[in-house]
Amino acid sequence: MGAILFRRLGWLPIVLIGVSIITFAFTYLSAGDPAMHIFWARYGQEMAPSEELLARIRVEAGLDKPIPIQYLNWLGRILRGDLGESFLDKKPIISILARRIPVTLEVGGASLLLALLIALPLGTWAATHPYSWVDSLSLMLSNTGVAIPQYWIGPVLILVFSVHFRLLPTAGWGTPKHLVMPVLTLFLVPLAFFTRMVRAGLLEVLEQDYIRTAHAKGLSRRTVLWRHAFKNAFIPLVSVVGLQITGIIAGSVIVESIFAIPGIGSATYQAVLWRDLPLIQACTLVFVTTAVVANALADVVYVLLNPAISYNG
């Protein structure tokens, strides 16, 4: 198992170097002069900059050096744990992320946990009672969760629970009530995929010969499910969980912006809005690192569920 995890995580430095090149290229692929972006972030777009001020900004930010040197300097700071300073407020990015990442983890973790807690019994019941009303309900929820975008769900929840019924705060952070609508907005998509995978996985496993043999030996339905069916049926679910972790992080950009949550998603949105390039680069690296690690851990869980799975070669 350790060898599998080592092989999977061994690709992480290569992936991060590729991502670092792409994210660093944002500095020159984005419209306008990077020095102008820094000026706008500090002084606003109403004031016209002078050439002397722009030249001083380029020297301060290291933009006066050749592009390969700028990239190597930036990569060297990343390897030392120095993510630089935000263009907007001149604060260290590492302190910004340290403040915002736990908020995103709280919202995303609650969404993922709620989706699993509902999807596991719902998908199991749908698979063991095909064509029942529960099965129809699970299919309807799955189709609805996949079809409705999060940027539509969030405002609708605000209209219903905040404007109409006045039960929940419209936006903000700090109390359990602030967590309800963001979690409801984020958890629908993973709920749809988890329910589908649990139902489909169990339906396939319950048709296998060893399940029929277990029933023929006189084992109860519950024993067959717990001891024989669930372990193999949940293997496809593991891969979906790894992908949905990435999806929740990406969805946090929309959800945190809608509900004014001070997480890494809203920080990314604000960075893009104000062309805060160092913060964009840092947030992108965090997203990709999380995605790669989540999928590597999914490979390890595969082996725990089924030791017959091999990644050799």
pLDDT tens, position by position, 250-263: 889 999 999 999 99
In a domain, 17, yes or no: yes
Assess whether pLDDT exceeds 60 at residue 232. Answer: yes
The pTM for the full model equals 0.83
Assess whether pLDDT exceeds 60 at residue 311. Answer: no
Assess whether pLDDT exceeds 50 at residue 248. Answer: yes
Whether residue 38 is found in the same domain as residue 155: no
Whether residue 58 is found in the same domain as residue 120: no
Number of structural domains found in the chain: 2
Run of H or E including 268:
helix 264-273
Kindly state the percentage of the chain with pLDDT values over 70: 93
Sequence-distant (6+) residues with CB within 8 A of 109 are none
In a domain, 278, yes or no: no
Whether residue 54 is found in the same domain as residue 160: no
In a domain, 305, yes or no: no
**Which residue's entry shows tokens 């509900």?**
259
In a domain, 291, yes or no: no
Whether residue 71 is found in the same domain as residue 169: no
What pLDDT does 312 receive? Answer: 53
Assess whether pLDDT exceeds 90 at residue 64. Answer: no
What pLDDT does 313 receive? Answer: 45
Q: What is the mean pLDDT of residues 216-224?
A: 77
**Boundary-marking domain end, from 79, 110, 143:** 79
Whether residue 248 is found in the same domain as residue 202: yes
Whether residue 137 is found in the same domain as residue 54: no
Q: Which domain holds residue 113?
A: 94-273
Sequence-distant (6+) residues with CB within 8 A of 135 are 125, 126, 129, 199
Phi, psi of 291 (to 5 degrees): -65, -45
